Amino acid sequence: MFHKPRLTAAALALSTALAGPLAAQDSDLSGTLTIFSDMSNPAPRAVMEDMAARFGEMHPDLEIDLTIIDREAYKTQIRNFLSANPPDVANWYAANRMRPYVDAGLFEDISDLWDDPEIAENLASTEGAMTLDGKQWGVPYTYYQWGIYYREDIYNEYGLSEPETWEELKANCQTLLDNDVKCFTIGTRYLWTAAGWFDYLNMRTHGYDFHMQLTNGEIPWTDDRVRETFANWRELIDMGAFVDNHQSYSWQEALPFMVNGEAAAYLMGNFAVAPMREAGLGDDQLDFYQFPAINPDVEMAEDAPTDTFHIPSGADNKEAAREFLRFVVSAENQTIINAGDALGQLPINASSSVDDDEMLQQGFEMLNENATGGLAQFFDRDAPAEMAAIAMEGFQEFMVFPDNLDPILQRLEQARQRIY
C-alpha cells in the first residue's frame, strides 16, 4: 500500500534534538521517491515510516511513496519487482545476499557515494560487506554484533578472565567442567545456531577471505583446511563443552541453562540480551567478550548481520535515491533509528551516538576498532540458501556425532558441486 509517511510525535522530538543540521538543508529534489521496504514488524515499521517522513520534511517538493511488504513475502517478490517495476530504493541484505541482484544487473553501482570521505571514513567497518567485484552496491542502515555472552559472576567465582586466545578459552572451559558447569549453552534444533560456531571457528582458524571463498563455493568441503576447522571444534565437543541434548532445544529454550548457572556462556547475537535480562540476569552478572583468536596470523573477523538499502538499476529518481541513502547513513539519522526505543541495534556510522547499553557499547567498540579482518553476514546469508540448509544439517550432526565427519564433508562437497 502506498502512503505518505507521517512523523510521530516521539520521532519528531528526537529528530529535532539530534537532526538539526540535516533539517536545515535546502530542498533541491522533486518528483516522487518510491521506496519498497521489508521492515514490517511494528518497531522497524515505525522507524521506516518516521525516517521517510523526516527525509520528506527536508525536501518538501519531493513526494515520497513508501510501500512496506511482509518480510517473508518480500524475499519471494524482490526479483520480480526489481525486474518489472523497480522502486527507487529497496531494502535487502549485505555481502553475498546481494550477489544474485548484482550479477543480474538489478542493483545500481553506487561507488561514487562511497568515494565521499564522510561516508568512506565513518562507514569503513562495513565497506567490505557492501563490496562485490571491487564496487559498492548499497549502504547499510543497521547491524548487530555476535560474540560470547557470559556469566561474569560465575567466571569470578572460579577466578576466570575473558579469554583472548584459544588455549585460554579451553583452559577456562576445563575449569568450569571440573566444577560441573558446562562451558556453553546452545540449542541446535533449528540448526542456524551451530552455524554461528562454524563461522567463528572457520574465520579464526583461516580468516575472513577463506571463509568467504568457502561460502562462495570456491573451496571444496573436503579441503584439509576445512578439516582443521572441524578439528578445533571437536576439541570442545570431546571436552563436553556444550550442554547435553542441545539438538532438542531452540535457542530460546537453551537460555535457562545460562540463567540457572548450569552453563557459563552463550555464543549468540545481541538479540539474546533482552530475554536474558527478562529472565533475571542483571548487568552485574552478564558480560560480553569477542570470540578469541585461534590462529595468531589471522585478523579478527566478526559476524555482524547487516540490513541494507539499494538503488535498483531501473529506478526513475536516482538523484533523490542517492540523497536518501546519504541521509540514511548520516551520523544523526543513525543515532535516531538505532536508539533503544527504535531498532535498539548498532549504528553503522562511527560518529553516531550509541544507545546507553553496556552490551551495545561493547559491540560498537568491537566492530569499529577490533574487527580488522572483516564482517561476515552469518552462514545462512553468506552461502546460497540450499547450500546453507544442507551445511547446517551437517554442522548439527557433527556436534552430536563427530565421528561422522567424513561422510558429512562428502555430502557437503557433493552439494557444493551441484549447487554452485
* CATH number of the CATH domain containing 404: 3.40.190.10
Residue ranges of E strands in 367-414: 374-376
Residue 367 lies in a domain: no
**Confidence band, pLDDT 50/70/90 cuts, at residue 322:** very high
User: Looking at the structure, do residues 41 and 90 belong to the same domain, yes or no?
Assistant: yes
Q: Which domain holds residue 131?
A: 9-142+307-352
Integer angstrom CA distances of residue 23 from 60, 127, 177, 271? 11, 27, 57, 32
pTM for the predicted model, two decimal places: 0.85
C-alpha 392/C-alpha 193 separation (Å) is 9
pLDDT for res 413: 98
Give which of 246, 114, 95, 228 is closest to 182, Cα–Cα.
Answer: 246
pLDDT tens digits, one per residue of 156-202: 999 999 999 999 999 999 999 999 999 999 999 999 999 999 999 99
pLDDT for res 93: 93
Position 344 pLDDT exceeds 90: no
User: Looking at the structure, do residues 234 and 268 belong to the same domain, yes or no?
Assistant: yes
* Mean pLDDT, all residues of the chain: 92
User: Looking at the structure, do residues 58 and 179 belong to the same domain, yes or no?
Assistant: no
User: Looking at the structure, do residues 279 and 311 belong to the same domain, yes or no?
Assistant: no
Residue 358 lies in a domain: no
Question: Which single residue is written with the C-alpha cell 548498532?
Answer: 346
Q: Which residues of 61-70 are buried (b: 16+ CB within 10 A; e: fewer)?
A: ebbbbbebbe
User: Which one-letter amino acid corresponds to residue 131?
Assistant: T
Residue 232 lies in a domain: yes
Q: What is the mean pLDDT of residues 127-139?
A: 94
Residue 366 lies in a domain: no
User: Looking at the structure, do residues 83 and 115 belong to the same domain, yes or no?
Assistant: yes
User: Looking at the structure, do residues 116 and 68 belong to the same domain, yes or no?
Assistant: yes
User: Looking at the structure, do residues 205 and 298 belong to the same domain, yes or no?
Assistant: yes
pLDDT for res 385: 85
User: Looking at the structure, do residues 27 and 63 belong to the same domain, yes or no?
Assistant: yes
User: Looking at the structure, do residues 384 and 247 belong to the same domain, yes or no?
Assistant: yes
**DSSP strand pairing (306-310 vs 139-143):** antiparallel
Q: What is the mean pLDDT of residues 107-116?
A: 97
pLDDT tens digits, one per residue of 255-302: 999 999 999 999 999 999 999 999 999 999 999 999 999 999 999 999
User: Looking at the structure, do residues 41 and 171 belong to the same domain, yes or no?
Assistant: no
- Asked if 308 and 98 count as a contact pair (C-beta separation under 8 A), the reply is yes
pLDDT tens digits, one per residue of 346-404: 999 999 999 889 999 999 999 989 998 989 999 999 998 899 999 999 999 999 999 99
C-alpha 393/C-alpha 397 separation (Å) is 6
C-alpha 164/C-alpha 159 separation (Å) is 15
User: Looking at the structure, do residues 52 and 137 belong to the same domain, yes or no?
Assistant: yes
C-alpha 290/C-alpha 278 separation (Å) is 23
Residue 371 lies in a domain: no
User: Which one-letter amino acid corresponds to residue 367?
Assistant: L
- Report the domain count for the chain: 2
Integer angstrom CA distances of residue 35 from 20, 29, 86, 278? 24, 15, 9, 36
The alpha carbon of 110 is separated from its chain's Cα centroid by a whole number of angstroms, namely 22
User: Looking at the structure, do residues 409 and 281 belong to the same domain, yes or no?
Assistant: yes
